[in-house]
Amino acid sequence: MFHYEAYFPEKKLLNLSVAHVVDYLIKTHQYYRQYLIPEIDRLLQLFLNSCDGKCAESELIRNFYDKFQHECIAHFQIEEDEEFPFILELNRVIETKADKDSFLAKYGNFVVRDFEEDHVNIDDKMFDLENIIIKYLPPQYDQNIGNSLLSNLFLFEKDLKNHSRIEDHILLPKVNQLLKSLDDHE
């Protein structure tokens, strides 16, 4: 799936357990937060510092990137703090045939969010950032560092696209399935 964009075995992935899918998603958030994002931060700083002379664009890129980075991290946090705990608890109630009243008392008003729009926003910003770096920067910036920075941005873009595809096309349908089962469940 990560190697071939056109390959997305939806049926197979829909058979995975919800707990498994959520575990995978949390682990990839950790990989982004602990490794990929700090690495991009580091390279961006090196890249901006490498500019020789007047580099008015640096501040613009810095601000754009900071906003983008905050948006990504806030997005992961909402999923981890609100969405995933709800999903795991819903899954537990269905799997163990537990009493649904206590679940409803806690989560009765919970509305499952559709994150597709957030995912598209993040993806668009990533694309804009790459384009600014590729097309609009004067050559006073170190090109080798720029290439390393871009490689990491491309890696993040690709990984995050697959990550979001799993959330939108595997996790969300599974949650809807579970919610239907909850309705039939005594």
Contacting positions for Fe ion (CB under 5 A):
79, 115, 167
C-alpha 62/C-alpha 44 separation (Å) is 8
Cβ closest to Fe ion, residue 117 vs residue 184? 117
C-alpha 3/C-alpha 125 separation (Å) is 23
Cβ closest to Fe ion, residue 62 vs residue 70? 70
In whole angstroms, how close is the CB of 179 to Fe ion at the nearest point? Answer: 19
In whole angstroms, how close is the CB of 119 to Fe ion at the nearest point? Answer: 6
In whole angstroms, how close is the CB of 115 to Fe ion at the nearest point? Answer: 5
Within the chain, residue ranges assigned H as helices are: 10-14, 18-31, 37-49, 57-78, 84-95, 100-107, 116-135, 143-166, 172-184
In whole angstroms, how close is the CB of 153 to Fe ion at the nearest point? Answer: 18
Cβ closest to Fe ion, residue 79 vs residue 91? 79
C-alpha 158/C-alpha 166 separation (Å) is 13
Closest CA to 163 of 19, 69, 30, 12: 30
Cβ closest to Fe ion, residue 74 vs residue 134? 74
C-alpha 163/C-alpha 171 separation (Å) is 11
In whole angstroms, how close is the CB of 79 to Fe ion at the nearest point? Answer: 5
C-alpha 128/C-alpha 155 separation (Å) is 15
Residue written as token pair 């049926």: 11
In whole angstroms, how close is the CB of 71 to Fe ion at the nearest point? Answer: 11
Q: 164-184: b or e for each residue (b if 16 or more CB lie within 10 Å)? A: bbbbeebbbebbeebeeeeee
Cβ closest to Fe ion, residue 17 vs residue 102? 17
Cβ closest to Fe ion, residue 61 vs residue 122? 122
